[in-house]
Amino acid sequence: MYEVRKIAGCFFLAVFLLLLPLNGTSQNRFVLDEGKKSDRIAFKLLNNLMLIPVTINGVELTFLLDTGVSSTILFGAAVQDSLRLQNKKSIKIQGLGQNGSVSAYKSVNNKIKIGAAYDLNHSLYVVYDESLNFSPRMGVPIHGIIGYDFFRSFLVRTNYMSKTIKFWDPRNHDFKNCRNCESFDIVLNNKKPFVTTKMTIQDSMKYTTLLVDSGSSDAVWLFDEFNVFSNGPTKYFEDFLGLGLSGDIHGKRSRIQQLKLGDFVLKDVHVAIPEAESIAKARKYAKRDGSLGGEFLRRFTVFYDYPNNRIKLRKNSNFSDPFHYNMSGITVAHDGIEMIKEKFSSFNSSDYFTDRAGQSQQYTGVSLVEESRIVLVPRYIIAAVSKGSSAARMGLEVGDEIIEINGAAAHKMQLSELNELFRSKEGRTVTLRVRNNNVESKVKITLKKIL
C-alpha cells in the first residue's frame, strides 16, 4: 500500500497556464521597431513564472509569458472596456479541469506592443468570467497570457538570474556561439514545444516527452500515474495542483530519483501527477507524457529558437538548488486591500512653538513629533490548511487573516516573500498573529518536509 499524506491547496498556479489550443489559425506575428535588430525587457519572477509588461491598444497590462499556450488570452472583465476591443465574436473555450467549457470571445485587429516589438493586427481571446481571477494567488494583477505568437516571431533568451528577456530578429541573429550551452531538438505540436528527457523512477529509466511550459510553477508534471508508482510503494501526498479554465485540478505530488536532459542531471526532483479526468483534453498530442515547468527552467538561461525547432540551455547558479514544497501547511492568498492607521515620526525644526499657556516661545532645537496617517495595505488570508500539519494542529483555519509574521506587519511583505519563507528551511519556527471574527491570536508553526 502506498504511504499517503494529504495537503490542501498549494499556492502555485499550475493553472490556467495550461490552456488547450484554441480553434482557428493565428496569423499573429510581431516585428521590431524600424532600425531595431533586438530588444531587452525586464520581467518579474513570481512563483517561478515570468510576468512582463504588455501594452494592448495603448493600455499597459501585466501578462504571463507562457510557452504552454498557443494563443493570446486576456482575463478580467474590469479592463476590457478601456481596451476598446473591436470585432468581437462569441466562442467557447475548453481548458484543463473537470468542468465544461467557458464563455469567451475572439477580438481581432488589436495593437499590441512588448518592448520594441509590436503587432498591429493581433487576435486575442477574452475570457469574461469574473470568477476566473488568478491574481490573489500571485499577489499582483494578472491580466492575461501570451506565448506562441511572441516566440514564433523572434529568437528569445530568458535569463532567470538577471530577470531579463532579450529577443532578436531571426534574420539577423543566431545562437551558434552560445558558450557552455547544450542544444536540443524540439517538436512544435499545436504551437507548443516538446522535448525528450530521461527519468529514473524507482531505479527504472524511462524516456518521456514533455511540454516545455514556462507557465507552470512546478518542476515536472507527469500524466501517467503508472510510470511513478508501478514498481512498489512510493511516498506521495494528495494536493490541489492548480486552477484550469474548466475547473480545479487535483492530483498527487511525489519525487523521482533523477531527471536527465542531455548532459544535465537533476536528482530528487519533485513531480505532480494530475488526475486523469483533469487533463484528458491536454493529451491530444499522443506522445505527451507531461510538462517541464518553471521550477526546472529557472535553473537555466534558456534560448528559444522556434524558427529552427531548437532550444538551448545553459545552467545558472540556481542549478543545484534543492527541490522544496511549501512546508508550512497553509496556503496564503491576497484578499484585496484594507485601510489601517499607521504611526510615523517626523522632525519639527520650527523656530517657534506654543507652550501650555498658549504663548509663543522661541525654540532653537529640533523636535521629534509622532503622527499617524491612513494608508491602504494588502490583506492576506489563509486560503487552505493541510490536514495533519502543524498549522492544522494549532487551529489555523481557512479565512484567517494574517496580521503579523515573526513580529513584522504582514502587509510589509510581498506574497512571493511569504511563499519563499514557507519553503525555506525544515525545522524553522514561524510565528503568526492572525485574526478570526475580530479575535486575534498568536500561533507558532514549524516548517516540516512533506516528502
Q: What pLDDT shows up at residue 2? A: 31
Report for 12-16, 111-115, 216-220: range of highest mean pLDDT: 111-115
Q: What pLDDT shows up at residue 347? A: 58
Mean per-residue pLDDT for 83-88? 73
Mean per-residue pLDDT for 311-327? 92
Flag whether pLDDT at 443 surpasses 50.
Answer: yes
Q: List pLDDT tens digits, range 129-180.
A: 665 656 656 667 888 999 999 999 999 999 999 999 999 999 989 988 888 9
Chain center to CA of 243: 12
Q: What pLDDT shows up at residue 184? A: 97
Report for 17-31, 128-142, 269-283: range of highest mean pLDDT: 269-283
Report for 12-21, 73-82, 136-145, 149-158: range of highest mean pLDDT: 149-158
Q: Which amino acid is at 128?
A: Y
Q: What pLDDT shows up at residue 241? A: 78
Q: What pLDDT shows up at residue 24? A: 45
Q: In whole angstroms, how far apart are CA 426 and each of 4, 10, 239, 442, 446? A: 20, 17, 20, 21, 8
Non-local CB neighbours of 168 within 8 Å, separated by 6+ positions: 37, 38, 154, 155
Counting every residue written for the chain, the total comes to 451
Q: What pLDDT shows up at residue 330? A: 84
Report for 78-87, 162-171, 269-278: range of highest mean pLDDT: 162-171
Flag whether pLDDT at 185 surpasses 90.
Answer: yes
Mean per-residue pLDDT for 366-381? 74
Say which residue, 127 or 65, is predicted with more confidence.
Answer: 65
Say which residue, 212 or 416, is predicted with more confidence.
Answer: 212
E-state strands within 115-176:
117-127, 144-146, 155-159, 164-168
Joined grid coordinates for residue 117: 516589438
Confidence band for 1, pLDDT divided at 50, 70 and 90 = very low
Q: What pLDDT shows up at residue 418? A: 85
Rounded to 5 degrees, what are φ and ψ at 84?
50, 55
Flag whether pLDDT at 62 surpasses 60.
Answer: yes
Say which residue, 75 or 15, is predicted with more confidence.
Answer: 75
Mean per-residue pLDDT for 330-343? 77
Q: What pLDDT shows up at residue 338? A: 77
Non-local CB neighbours of 234 within 8 Å, separated by 6+ positions: 2, 3, 202, 228, 254
Domains and CATH numbers, the chain: 31-167 (2.40.70.10), 174-315 (2.40.70.10), 330-447 (2.30.42.10)
249 and 14 in contact (C-beta within 8 Å)?
A: yes
Pairing of strands 401-405, 367-385: antiparallel
**Residue 281: Cβ-neighbour burial (10 angstroms; 0-12, 13-18, 19+):** middle
Confidence band for 350, pLDDT divided at 50, 70 and 90 = low
How far is 43 from 53, CA to CA, in rounded Å? 8
